[in-house]
Amino acid sequence: MLRESPPLNSNNPLIGTKYDPLVGDVYTLHLARVNERRPVIASENICDTQGRLLLQKGAPVTGATAQEIVDTKLLLPIEHSIVIDNEIDGNQLEKDFIAVMRGDDILHSIHDRYSLDTLLHQQCSSYQSYPLLRQKITVLAERMPETYNRSLYCAWLAMLIAKEMRLPRQEINAVFLGALCHDIGMLHVNPQVLGKSDALTAEEWRELQTHVVIGQKILACIDGLPSQVSLAVLEHHERCDGTGYPSGKVESELSLLGQIIALADSVIAVYHNRFKPHGRSWRDVIPVIQMNNQAYFYRNFEILTTILRRSEMPQPGVVGGDGMPDFIEKFIQQQGDMKARFKRFEKLLLSFGYTHGDRKLHALQNVFLHIATSINGSGIFQNNYGEWLEQVKSKCLSQTYSEVEDAYLMLEEVSFHLQRLNRMIQIYASSGSCKDKAIQEALEAELEKESQDDRVDAPIRNIHTRLDDEETLITE
């Protein structure tokens, strides 16, 4: 059953997304690939708007048919005209959750400590009552298994935060379903953009970002699904400090459920992209969240850090005593480089003043001010920080080694944010929106310096291979 998708904010820059549920897109190609493992069958005749029969009721969606359907306007969205045999139902979903939990000792112990079995079972039963969710989740699991796995983690963590917040049952259910489906829009995004290993162009970034709008449109049409679910999916990349997308909303404009998913999604991404590959623990995400606490609802942040702190996680100790003096030396060097880079951004962005009337430039300046507030709050650029590090090194203060590692993680976070700011400046400078020639030239000069800095910095960063920043573009 379909219902009308509610209108979106007309200022939303992604509203022009090409997605049209009636036009065959890459999702049809995904269906054809799923058909190779589980039959994907037309549940009714699939016709174009001229009445031409593209696939007969009962026939499978093959590669050849899918090619014919791509870019063709259909009478009904393809997802409403097919069924998948042996799809991921509520039981299978629950089994997948349990398998994910068993694969991670820390999460498993948190799961038991908070007695989440019954709650999880209820959520999986509720999922069972939405056929389109089952279809999308099945296709996601088949075609993007890593994204599916992350969605399981995200749904589990979002459910736990909502429970600890003592939200009503319906809201816990809405946040669970939203977290589970938050990236289903990716199934309609060009796989070449998703799989690109080089840096994305501004245009590709915009395409990637459409996944939130597509996800919202799909979910908003599912009869009986609470409207909070689609809104939360739309907002899962928004940030309280206005630095997110698609609309750059600020705290007062955002829904609680969307922000629970945003926090859970970020934490899972940081852990999987940056810590897990280097053998680091869940505990390490705490300093990273601390550096970003302005981006999320404070209450959500507080609950999550309490859950992680209570989980009796081992201290990290990745660097080891012997390597610590060398590590600290490189740390101090990187801290100096980072501070100089930060000062350059400060000089540049504040030099434009605030009377230029350019909304996008204001947004960039605000992003910088938020980074500056986090840095000042952490104290990581203060002179006595360097003195403390020198002391730890010269006196071999091994009891503080884990604090040094935490501090390094905060520095890495600063690096990540400065890179993100640099990318935003790049997008702005290449968009042609800047009408002030002097500002445009100043931005371009800074981008040139940044690209040169990257080349100089690289060998220093490579020394810390175990702590290297491997943040992906998709799931920041």
Q: Provide the binding-site residues for Fe ion, judged by CB under 5 A.
A: 183
Q: How far is the C-alpha of 9 from the C-alpha of 16, rounded, in Å?
A: 12
- Number of residue whose CB is nearest Fe ion: 183
Q: Of the two residues 179 and 221, which places its CB atom closer to Fe ion in the complex?
A: 179
- Which one, 123 or 147, has the nearer CB to Fe ion? 147
Distance in Å, CB of 8 to Fe ion, minimum: 17
Complete DSSP assignment for 10-40: TT-TTTT----TTBB-HHHHHHHHHHTTS-E
Q: Do 55 and 94 form a contact (C-beta atoms < 8 A)?
A: no
Q: What contacts 234, CB < 8 A, 6 or more positions away? A: 8, 212, 213, 215, 216, 246, 258
CB of 407 to Fe ion, least distance (A): 30
For 92-136, the DSSP string reads HHHHHHHHHHHT-HHHHHHHHHTT-HHHHHHHHHHHHT-HHHHHH
Nearer Cβ to Fe ion (65/147): 147
Instruction: Please list the helix, strand and coil fractions of the chain in percent, rounded to the nearest 5, in that order.
Output: 65, 5, 30
For residue 216, the minimal CB distance to Fe ion (Å) is: 11
Q: How far is the CB of 106 from Fe ion (least distance, A)?
A: 24
Number of Cα atoms under 13 Å in the Cβ half of residue 267: 32
Which C-beta is closer to Fe ion: that of 403 or that of 476?
Answer: 476
CB of 475 to Fe ion, least distance (A): 7
Which CB, 148 or 401, lies closer to Fe ion? 148
For residue 182, the Cα-to-chain-centroid distance in whole angstroms is 9
d(CA 229, CA 300): 18
Closest distance between Fe ion and the C-beta of residue 14, in Å? 13
Between CA 382 and CA 430 the distance in angstroms is 35
* Residue ranges with strand state E in 152-208: none
Amino acid at 88: I
Burial track 235-247 (b if 16+ CB lie within 10 A, e otherwise): bbbbbbbbbbbbb
Cα–Cα distance for residue pair 172/96, rounded to 1 Å? 20
Spatial separation of the C-alpha atoms in residues 105 and 108, rounded to whole Å:
5
Q: How far is the CB of 7 from Fe ion (least distance, A)?
A: 22
Smaller CB separation from Fe ion, 239 or 283: 239
What is the distance between the alpha carbons of residues 476 and 472, in angstroms, rounded to a whole number? Answer: 7
Q: Report the alpha-carbon distance of residue 183 to residue 162 in Å, rounded.
A: 19
Nearer to Fe ion, 183 or 446 (CB): 183
**Residue for token digits 């699939």?**
46
Q: Which is nearer to Fe ion, 100 or 268 (CB)?
A: 268
The phi, psi pair for 93, rounded to 5°, reads -60, -45
Minimal distance in Å, beta carbon 323 to Fe ion? 36
In the complex, minimum distance from the CB of residue 466 to Fe ion, in angstroms, rounded to a whole number: 27
Q: Does the bond joining 6 to the residue before it have cis omega, within 30 degrees of 0? A: no
Torsion of CA 141, 416, 298, 272, to 10 degrees: 30
> Between 183 and 412, whose beta carbon lies closer to Fe ion?
183
Q: In angstroms, what is the minimal distance from the CB of 236 to Fe ion?
A: 6
Nearer to Fe ion (CB atom), residue 292 or residue 365: 292
Nearer to Fe ion, 30 or 237 (CB): 237
Provide, rounded to whole angstroms, the least separation between the CB of residue 434 and Fe ion.
28
CB of 138 to Fe ion, least distance (A): 19
Cβ-based nearer residue to Fe ion, 262 or 348? 262
